[in-house]
Amino acid sequence: MATRIVAPDAAQTTDEMLLVRWYVAEGDQVEVGDILADVETDKALVEIEAYVAGQVLRLLAEEGDTVTVGQALLWIGAPGEAVPEEPEGGEDQALSRASVSVEAPLPPPAPAGTVATPAARTVARARGLDIASIGGSGPGGAVVRRDVLSASDVSVDTTEPLSPMRRAMAARLQQSFRDVPHFYVAMDVDMTRALAARESSPAHVSVNDVIVKAVADALAEFPALNCILEGAALRRLEDVNIGIAVGLEDGVVVPVLARANTLSLEQVAERTRSLIADARAGRVRAGARCALTVSNLGMYGVKWFSAIITPPEVAILAVGAIADTLALSAERVIAVPLLTLTLSSDHRVIDGRLAARFLGAVKDLLEATGLSRA
């Protein structure tokens, strides 16, 4: 039976996204995991993967179309298999195209081989620039926002509107801070043993990897916290997935480390590096949902901070910098590497006792280095 592939919910603020590129054509044979298309949301360039194998029977949208979450994009099935009749370019799509046509004409999409961040593409479109003609200074030669601004000779004093990513972040976080009853618990953690475990690892492991692993292992012990809030209902998540906040030039994206509690510390480090590299290149795959995100500003010398929850998640852990603090031990003064963790929780779902117990479990794992190894 033919399978209908729809535009994914990539956790963006708006339901609309731009179909940037098809990687398949009608008649192509695809396997599970093949990349079908790229769509650009208000946050990143998202790859749509095939989750069934078969032949591409029909494409229902064109490159450059504005599509919405849940809209049919293509059908995959057996060769020659009939697919249900579905209007192409129906009323909803016509309205989307009409809304685009009112704006300034967009330059043609960048040809294959041109790598650019979503922010760079947005500024290039707004200024009518061909992004393929702009030299890139980002990772791997990617075109970033500053390259586009330089190419258009923007004055330092020029006023420009917020980028789509910044506008989306502002709207979403403002709504979260207004509608979600935040409360905060914080604990200091002695990182002596955690740092030793990191140094003894045969792989390259960062402090953030150690924290993410501890958070995942602790969350597995507290299923009441591993949920998302959908309206007036709670969805209990079967897998323990952890969001990792990644700072970009024009905002923040949150790729998700799936089933993090089942991974060794070394596997967490390897997969997190891959997720961060993809995010900084402007590619975040639509994937698993998570209940909690880890946001780390410790590498910038920030001692502690409180973060804003991104719905439908119910918590976010803010990680500060490790700082040596003098303490008295066995009648002598020693330097203890202390780290402050601050958990922001949604009080509609999590009470103070649950938040304190969970954060205490994270602290115990880090101080005892009870983290599973490969």
Q: Are residues 204 and 315 in the same domain?
A: yes
Let me know if residue 116 belongs to a domain: no
Q: Are residues 261 and 346 in the same domain?
A: yes
- Residue 291's DSSP bridge partners are none
State the pLDDT at residue 358: 98
Q: Which residue has the tokens 């200074």?
A: 137
Let me know if residue 225 belongs to a domain: yes
Greatest alpha-carbon pair distance for the chain in Å reads 82
CATH number of the domain at 62, please: 2.40.50.100
Q: Are residues 356 and 220 in the same domain?
A: yes
Let me know if residue 135 belongs to a domain: no
Q: Are residues 326 and 220 in the same domain?
A: yes
Burial class (CB within 10 angstroms; exposed 0-12, middle 13-18, buried 19+) of 203:
middle
- DSSP 8-class letter at 280: H
Q: Are residues 281 and 362 in the same domain?
A: yes
Evaluate whether 315 touches 185 at the Cβ level (below 8 Å): no
Q: Are residues 177 and 297 in the same domain?
A: yes
Q: For residue 32, give its domain range.
A: 3-102
Evaluate whether 278 touches 284 at the Cβ level (below 8 Å): yes
Q: Are residues 91 and 216 in the same domain?
A: no
Kindly give the confidence (pLDDT) of every residue in the chain, 374 residues in length, as a single tens digit, with 9 standing for 90 and above: 789 999 887 655 567 888 888 999 999 999 988 889 988 876 677 888 888 899 999 999 998 888 888 899 999 999 989 888 765 444 344 333 333 333 334 444 444 446 887 778 878 887 888 888 888 887 678 888 788 888 876 554 566 777 777 787 788 888 888 889 999 999 999 999 999 989 888 889 999 999 999 999 999 999 999 999 988 899 999 999 999 999 988 788 999 999 999 999 999 999 999 999 998 888 887 768 999 999 999 999 999 999 999 999 999 999 999 999 888 877 788 899 999 999 999 999 999 999 999 999 999 999 986 554 43
Q: Domain boundary at 78, 102, 126, which?
A: 102
Residues 371, 211: Cα–Cα separation, whole Å: 10
Residues 220, 212: Cα–Cα separation, whole Å: 12
Q: Are residues 181 and 78 in the same domain?
A: no
Nearest to 211 by CA among 361, 34, 82: 361
Structural domain count of the chain: 2
Evaluate whether 180 touches 311 at the Cβ level (below 8 Å): yes
Question: Crossing angle, helix 352-368 and helix 207-220, to 10 degrees?
Answer: 130
State the pLDDT at residue 114: 66
Question: Crossing angle, helix 164-179 and helix 118-126, to 10 degrees?
Answer: 120
State the pLDDT at residue 183: 96
Let me know if residue 261 belongs to a domain: yes
Bin 33: left if φ > 0, else alpha if -120 < ψ < 50, else beta.
left
Residues 172, 170: Cα–Cα separation, whole Å: 6
Q: Are residues 228 and 310 in the same domain?
A: yes
Residues 201, 373: Cα–Cα separation, whole Å: 9
Residues 360, 213: Cα–Cα separation, whole Å: 15
Let me know if residue 108 belongs to a domain: no
State the pLDDT at residue 101: 30
Let me know if residue 140 belongs to a domain: no
CA dihedral over 256, 258, 260, 263, signed as positive or negative: negative
Q: Are residues 97 and 173 in the same domain?
A: no
State the pLDDT at residue 12: 59
Residues 322, 203: Cα–Cα separation, whole Å: 21
Q: Are residues 92 and 176 in the same domain?
A: no
State the pLDDT at residue 63: 87
Q: Domain boundary at 55, 87, 102, which?
A: 102
Q: What is the pTM of this model?
A: 0.60
Let me know if residue 298 belongs to a domain: yes
Let me know if residue 109 belongs to a domain: no
State the pLDDT at residue 370: 52
Q: Are residues 72 and 182 in the same domain?
A: no
Q: Domain boundary at 82, 102, 122, which?
A: 102
Beta pairing class for 72-77 and 16-22? unpaired
Please give, one letter per residue, the 3-state secondary structure of 9-52.
CCCCCCCEEEEEEECCCCCCEECCCCEEEEEECCCCEEEEECCC
Structure tokens at 299: 């590498």
State the pLDDT at residue 139: 66
> Is the backbone peptide bond immediately before 84 cis, with ω within 30 degrees of 0?
no
CATH number of the domain at 243, please: 3.30.559.10
